[in-house]
């Protein structure tokens, strides 16, 4: 769509949002040209900063009226280019929708606006002994709206579940600009479940009702050092196979440890080729018993050093290295790709060995830091962007890692979403029929394809192009068979 056709929508936005909430200045627009995945960039035609659901709805209605695509953006920490703007569209940023609207401890729930950060929810209820369980490493800055769109996870989702397990209801603005509620208590189809993880393609979340969880009284954190990832991987399988469900099992390999040490001096055991962080929570006796078992399993799997955090300060020190790892890698490499894939836990040792082979074959270093407990790999593929061809080789290795995930029966994404970056890999997991079926869901919410178009699906199509879907009269109605339903 040529830029001038946005003149009228922009005029309308200024009218009901006020001029201070509509950005068209090219320099300011550049702030929004990418999310955490910086190699996809596009400057939006206009950015709007609504302060309420009604304002979001009004913006979306104008978009619908004029056939203008729109993209929601929270904090822009996404790692799959989900919030990548459209040069011919509107970027709807939720950063001014940051109110915690209510906290209801008796019913263990809070209602918040979509721009509230993940950690702010916990901070609001921590003193009362509660927290919001899903804990992406980006939790200090990422928004709950973004978490909903990505069905975000985190280190403790192994035991406590992902965003989808902690969102009880949503208020959304549909792609037609209507404000509707979706609730876990609704009978019929699970539309709440369909919306969570839909990456902004089914509308915009404007209120989120989250479950609040009682903070565990007893938490024990164990750091185990191995000579390499293979033995660490064996320990992970043996722990879960032994019937123990830690709240977190995270693994870092030698390169990730090197980066974390350089950045935050986390003092992991010297000579470690891999470390496992195993966290246990629950009643005192249960935690003590499980700690004994995990210690035994780690030793039997070849751990040469084991350290249990004695107090919250030591626990924080153990986690510091892990939580800083993504950013820390920037210290040992000028550029890197953060990959996200899943493999069955039992395949971890083999897949990690294959990643190592790929890395050596292509002369590209790969640091592994990941949620080992649920087989969610986060290989960090390092390269020097000044070296000709290095970026292409890194891309190749990164793609081959996803091939491995699929070959082993896993997934091309664990928690970072498909976005724009991985839409081309969707065909590795899904047939054309599968994708057409998914597109039917999309079309039911957004028949005009205006809500975050170009994301998730490899071959964006209009709803009329999906087999079996026609605009206007449904084929069953046309043929007279609809009465049978
Ligand atoms: C250092 C770092 C560590 C990370 N660690 C983790 C981790 O441990 N686990 C994990 O899961 N992710 C992690 N991430 C990825 C990222 O933080 C999450 O995907 C997060 O949920 C994105 O939130 P956001 O507010 O930044 O969303 P954005 O990046 O702004 O948007 C992400 C997607 O959500 C859509 N969206 C945003 N707001 C709304 C809304 N209100 N309604 C509908 N759609 C919306 C956007 O259109 C886009 O498709 C990490 C990222 C970084 C940079």
Parse the chain into domains and list their residue ranges.
3-93, 100-184+202-214, 217-332, 336-367+381-429, 432-484
Is there an atom of ligand 1 within 6 Å of 326 CB? yes
User: What CATH fold (topology level) applies to the domain 3-93?
Assistant: 3.30.43
Q: Whose C-alpha lies nearest to ligand 1, atom 27? A: 146
Mutate to test the pocket of ligand 1, among 51, 118, 137, 138 (most ligand atoms within 8 A of CB): 138
How much is the average pLDDT of 294-300?
98
Mutate to test the pocket of ligand 1, among 95, 118, 150, 372 (most ligand atoms within 8 A of CB): 150
- Domain covering 100-184+202-214 in this structure, CATH number: 3.30.465.10
| Cα(112)–Cα(204) distance, integer angstroms | 14
Helix, strand, coil fractions of the chain, as percent rounded to 5: 40, 20, 40
Please name the residues in contact with 29: beta carbons below 8 A apart, sequence gap of 6 or more. Answer: 23, 43, 44, 46, 47
Any idea what the Cα angle at residue 319 is, between residues 313 and 323, rounded to 5°? 135
Confidence of residue 466 (pLDDT cuts 50, 70, 90): low
Q: Name the token pair of 481.
A: 């068979």
Confidence of residue 117 (pLDDT cuts 50, 70, 90): very high
Each residue's pLDDT tens digit, 323-362: 888 889 988 999 999 999 999 998 998 999 999 999 999 9
| Cα(48)–Cα(341) distance, integer angstroms | 33
Is there an atom of ligand 1 within 6 Å of 163 CB? no
Model pTM above 0.85: yes
pLDDT at 421: 93
| Cα(341)–Cα(354) distance, integer angstroms | 14
Class of domain 217-332: alpha beta
The backbone torsions φ and ψ at residue 281, rounded to the nearest 5 degrees and listed phi first, read -140, 155
């Amino acid at each position: 769509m040529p830029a001038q056709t946005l003149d009228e929508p922009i005029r309308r936005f200024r009218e009901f949002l006020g001029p201070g909430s509509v950005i068209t200045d090219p320099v300011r627009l550049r702030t929004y040209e990418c999310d955490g995945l910086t190699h996809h960039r596009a400057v939006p035609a206009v950015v709007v900063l609504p302060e309420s659901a009604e304002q979001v709805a009004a913006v979306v209605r104008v978009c619908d009226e004029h056939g203008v695509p729109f993209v929601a953006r929270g904090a822009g920490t996404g790692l799959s280019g989900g919030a990548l703007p459209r040069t011919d569209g509107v970027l709807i940023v939720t950063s001014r929708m940051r109110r915690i609207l209510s906290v209801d401890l008796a019913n263990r729930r809070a209602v918040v606006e979509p721009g509230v950060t993940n950690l702010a929810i916990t901070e609001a209820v921590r003193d009362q002994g509660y927290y919001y369980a899903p804990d992406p490493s980006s939790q200090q800055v990422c928004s709950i709206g973004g978490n909903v769109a990505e069905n975000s996870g985190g280190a403790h989702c192994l035991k406590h579940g992902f965003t989808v397990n902690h969102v009880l209801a949503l208020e959304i603005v549909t792609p037609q600009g209507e404000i509707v509620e979706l609730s876990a208590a609704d009978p019929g189809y699970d539309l709440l479940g369909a919306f969570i993880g839909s990456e902004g393609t089914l509308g915009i979340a404007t209120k989120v009702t989250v479950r609040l969880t009682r903070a565990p009284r007893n938490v024990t954190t164990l750091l185990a050092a191995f000579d390499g990832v293979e033995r660490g991987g064996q320990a992970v399988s043996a722990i879960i196979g032994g019937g123990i469900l830690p709240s977190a099992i995270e693994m870092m390999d030698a390169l990730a440890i090197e980066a974390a040490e350089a950045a935050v001096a986390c003092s992991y055991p010297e000579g470690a080729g891999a470390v496992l962080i195993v966290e246990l929570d629950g009643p005192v006796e249960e935690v003590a018993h499980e700690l004994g078992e995990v210690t035994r399993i780690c030793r039997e799997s070849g751990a040469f050093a084991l350290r249990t955090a004695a107090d919250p300060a030591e626990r924080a020190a153990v986690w510091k290295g892990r939580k800083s790892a993504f950013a820390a890698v920037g210290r040992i490499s000028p550029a890197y790709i953060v990959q996200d894939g899943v493999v069955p836990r039992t395949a971890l040792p083999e897949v990690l060995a294959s990643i190592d082979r790929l890395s050596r074959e292509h002369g590209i270093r790969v640091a592994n830091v990941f949620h080992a407990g649920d087989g969610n790999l986060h290989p960090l593929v390092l390269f020097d962007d000044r070296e000709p061809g290095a970026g292409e080789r890194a891309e190749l290795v990164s793609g081959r890692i996803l091939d491995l995930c699929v070959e082993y029966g896993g997934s091309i994404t664990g928690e970072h979403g498909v976005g724009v970056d991985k839409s081309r890999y969707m065909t590795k997991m899904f047939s054309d029929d599968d994708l057409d079926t998914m597109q039917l869901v999309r079309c039911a919410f957004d028949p005009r394809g205006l809500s975050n178009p170009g994301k998730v699906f490899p071959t964006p199509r209009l709803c009329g192009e999906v087999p079996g879907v026609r605009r206007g009269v449904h084929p069953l109605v046309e043929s007279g068979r609809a009465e049978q339903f």
